[in-house]
Structure 1
Amino acid sequence: MLSSITIAKADTRLVKLKARRKLWLDVHLYLGLIAGAVLTVVGLTGSFAVFFVELQEILNPELALVSTPVEDRKKLHSLDEMVDAAESVKPLGSRFFKLYYPRKPDIAYKFLYFIRDDKQAKNGDGYYIFVDPYTAKVNGTQLYYLKDRYWGRPIVGFIMQLHWCLLQGRTGADINGILAAISIISVLTGLILWWPLTGKFKQALTFKRNASAVRFNFDLHKTFGFYSAIVLLPVLFSGVYFNLPEHVNVLVKLFSPANRPTAFNTIPAEVRSKPPHAGQQALSLSIVEAIVQERYPAGRLWMLDGPKSPEGVYKIMKKDVTELSRFIGYRDVAVDQYSGEILKVYDSGGGSAGDVLLDWQWPLHSGHAFGWPGRILVLLSGLACPVLFVTGVIRWRQKCRARRSADKLDRRRTDR
């Protein structure tokens, strides 16, 4: 008797769980249909974006790689000499914006210049100038940013913009952020649906042998969904943060203080250079670099951001600062452009819990937090997006056909 009651209760619970599962299935379906197509594009472009630096070098070796023979690479020229070389070929009306340090000895220094001249039709366009550090000679110049259009950009820049804003500017970035948030819910509901009600987890994590095409598609969707969710969830959350940082900050501050200024800048806008003395000029890049290297030698030079106004500051960014973290060891240093005084230092992973969470977002999104394995996992998660969308649509169409067939059969039985 007891056994019968227990079985009855179990059957009742299973019926309730299946009814609840039907609700989650509908939510998962419609969210997937709404966000899936865009997530496919964003996922594929994100897979390429993981290696955008390497892609630039592969696609433009004549610009990005140094031509100086290895035996002649005795000593780097000073940064000021490289700046002089870049200044000699810079586009008319352009000004220095940023320097990207090479990641390897055989890579050129990359200077970014923007045209800042209202009288020019190309005002706002950005150019990369590649300089061989061993000869202080320019490898070439590349138009990279076009202010008013996306077509005509180098393929890597085009992919990056398609990934970030769907080629729709700020509006596209907002839409992308919203769809990333929807995709998080879709992934979570997919995990709810994946959870085996009967407790057969091995079956839920593998493909059925000798299965039909319908069953293979189902297994492909659920297994890809489960394994990719481990990486997709943090990548999607970081995508929401980069596109909708103010909204994420509001959410984070509900649980912990967060002082990180923005998603892409760790130095507050209030940090400014002091007014110069009469005739005092801005320090050269070589001097600023030497000041930071002497004070903070750990890590690898990554970027040098130039002042954008007479009150602006130099910002030198370093990565792989293992004394901070093996995973998110980033240090940004703000330097007064006239006196060389270090005005602000931001060490990733050293603030509140909220700041640490936000500091993790770029390393997680790019996969750099875990080196090559992390980058490959992010690459695979991006490739999983079209697989999940296509198999999900196929599964939906299969169910629609099965439902129509069942309805036809019911009508025939009724007619009899």
Structure 2
Amino acid sequence: MVSRRDDDALKSASVAAAIRDAPARRARKMWRKLWLDIHLYIGLVVGAMLVVIGITGSILVFWHEVDAWLDPQLRIVTARPGGARDFAPLETIESAAAAAKPDGGRITHIWMPRDERSTYLVYYDLDGETRRFGVDPYKATTTADRLYYSRSNPFRHALMGFLFQLHFSLLLSDLLDDGGDTVGVMALLLIVSVLSGLYLWWPAPGKWKSALTLKRGARAERLNYDLHKLGGVYFAAVLLAVLMSGIYMNLRDPFVWVVDRVAPLTNGGAFERKSEPAAGRSPIGFPQAIAAASALSPEGRIERVDFPDGERGAFTVYQDDVPGVGRFIRSRSLIVDRFSAAVTAIEDNAHGTAGDAFLRWQWPLHSGQAFGMTGRLLVLASGLLCPLLFVTGVIRWLQKKRARRA
């Protein structure tokens, strides 16, 4: 039985402990208030732009499928029974593309047919515009010629070109030289917002189950809070990966500089896409570039060919579904000299340093290609989650504002 004197002693000890812990509690409270403010103001200032970037990014995960659905005349042809075996020779396709390109136009890249019903998709630059046309893989005839992107007027873009520019630069690259830099800084701020949200959510021991589930029968205010909290928690990894890769693509030089200091890169991450001097040799065409790449790397499917930019430029041949280069990323790019047809560099996860591999993960993570259809669906869902996070966050802020007034 505890005496009154012992009881008083216990109370005194508790009071003394509370007094000793008071500074630490105040510090924790102030620290939490700081991160609440950071999370709030980043969300309010940058959140609306995140909605635009998220929705457009969700569409662009399946941009080939959406583009073909929107413009079948450009991208769809009638398949023949033999499928790809009945395709015209690449030299015939090259001649058809060269004949269809207007005088003064420069072909920048060609997307290869994705299946037996798809065209070759040829992009070319002309007078400050990027245009594109399709080439029937069986007949080698052009299917359409469309404006894709206008450097002078963002509202003259084709829908898909408009969505890409809106996603990567919020159309600021059409007005400012640093449009991509602005979006890169926004992505950096949003990473801070996601991390601060995780810190504020982190549950005490024994509270994990309730912290990871919706409260049954909750009122609207609590339901809104749970939706905001759980949406951010369950998709935090995907959001952080997509935002980090967005920084890489928009703030590439400082991003590469940091990576090179942590995990040294091959040639500082500068993979040169250059050819040796012509020395009297005639340039090859894209069929020869594909043949050279396929001879060195016969596995996989040719996805795209980038054309040389300038006299010293080189072809870049992109392959997908390549076995042996990685468990989750199966893509590879090969640099082909435009005069000698020699493969001068191979970029994939089987070559280079750990830093090189980290950089090569960025685009597959951003687009969802790293994990096949599962990755694409996760990136799609994370983009559609952005409006939910913004709306529920604004509602939560207004609820607290009304509570303080009351």
- TM-score of the pair, normalised by structure 1: 0.88
SS at match of 2:346: strand
Is 1:48–2:34 an aligned residue pair?
no
Give the Cα–Cα distance (whole angstroms) in 2 for the partners of residues 250 and 340 of structure 1: 32
**Does the 8 Å contact 1:131/1:139 carry over to 2?**
yes
**Structure 1 residue 261 displacement after superposition:** 6.8
Correspondence for 1:309: 310
Distance 1:145 1:3, change over 3 A: farther
User: Which of the numbers 27, 35, 50 marks the counterpart of 1:39?
Assistant: 50
Cα distance in 2 between the residues matched to 1:56 and 1:236: 25
Is contact 1:14-1:197 (8 Å) kept? Answer: no
In the alignment, which residue of structure 1 is the partner of 2:236? 229
**Unaligned ranges ≥5, structure 2:** 1-6
Deviations 1:224-253 (A, max 9, x none): 110121210111000011000111112212
Task: Give distance in 2, aligned partners of 1:260 and 1:142.
Answer: 39
Which one of 168, 171, 176 corresponds to residue 172 of structure 2? 168
In structure 2, the partner of 1:393 is 394
Tell me if structure 2 keeps the 8 A contact 1:50–1:366.
Answer: yes
User: Does the alignment pair 1:30 with 2:30?
Assistant: no
Which residue identity does 1:226 align to in structure 2?
V
Aligned partner of 1:157 among 153, 158, 161: 161
The answer (yes or no) to whether the contact 2:124–2:132 under 8 Å persists in 1 is: yes
Return the alpha-carbon distance in structure 2 between the equivalents of residues 175 and 185 of structure 1.
Answer: 16
Q: Is 1:326 aligned with 2:327? A: yes
Contact 1:335–1:344 (CA under 8 A) maintained in structure 2: yes
How far the C-alpha of 1:72 sits from its partner, in A, is: 7.2
The answer on whether the counterparts of 1:96 and 1:114 sit within 8 Å (CA) in structure 2 is yes
Matched residue, 1:413: none
The amino acid that maps onto 1:142 is R
Which residue of 2 is the match for residue 297 of structure 1? Answer: 298
Distance in 1 of aligned mates of 2:253 and 2:340: 34
**Amino acid aligned to 1:283:** I
The alignment partner of 1:130 has SS state of: strand
1:273 aligned to 2:276? yes
Which residue number in structure 1 is paired with residue 3 of structure 2?
none
Residues 79 and 116, structure 2, Cα contact 8 Å, conserved in 1: no
Q: Which amino acid aligns with 2:317?
A: I
Distance, in Å, in 2 between the alignment partners of 1:306 and 1:207 is: 52
> Moved runs in structure 1, 4+ residues, more than 6 A?
1-4
Counterpart in the other structure of 1:120: none
Q: Provide the C-alpha distance between the structure 1 equivalents of 2:117 and 2:300, rounded to a whole number of angstroms.
A: 19
Q: Structure 2 vs 1, CA of residues 77 and 25 (structure 1 numbering), >3 Å: closer, same or farther? A: same
What are the superposed Cα offsets for residues 169-196 of structure 1, whole Å, 9 maximum, x if unpaired? 0422111100100000000000011112
Structure 1 residue aligned with 2:227: 220
Query: Which residue does the alignment assign to 1:414?
Result: none
Partner of 1:364: 365
**Is 2:120 aligned against 1:113?**
no
1:307–1:313 CA contact under 8 A, matched in 2: yes
Tell me if the contact between 2:203 and 2:211 (Cα under 8 Å) persists in the aligned partners.
Answer: yes
1:340-364 alpha-carbon deviations (Å, 9 max, x no partner): 2222222335222211111100010
Tell me the TM-score normalized by structure 2.
0.90
Q: Of the candidates 122, 128, 140, which is equivalent to residue 124 of structure 1?
A: 128
Residue segments in structure 1 that go unaligned for 5+ positions in a row: 116-122, 406-416
The CA deviation at 1:203 is: 0.9
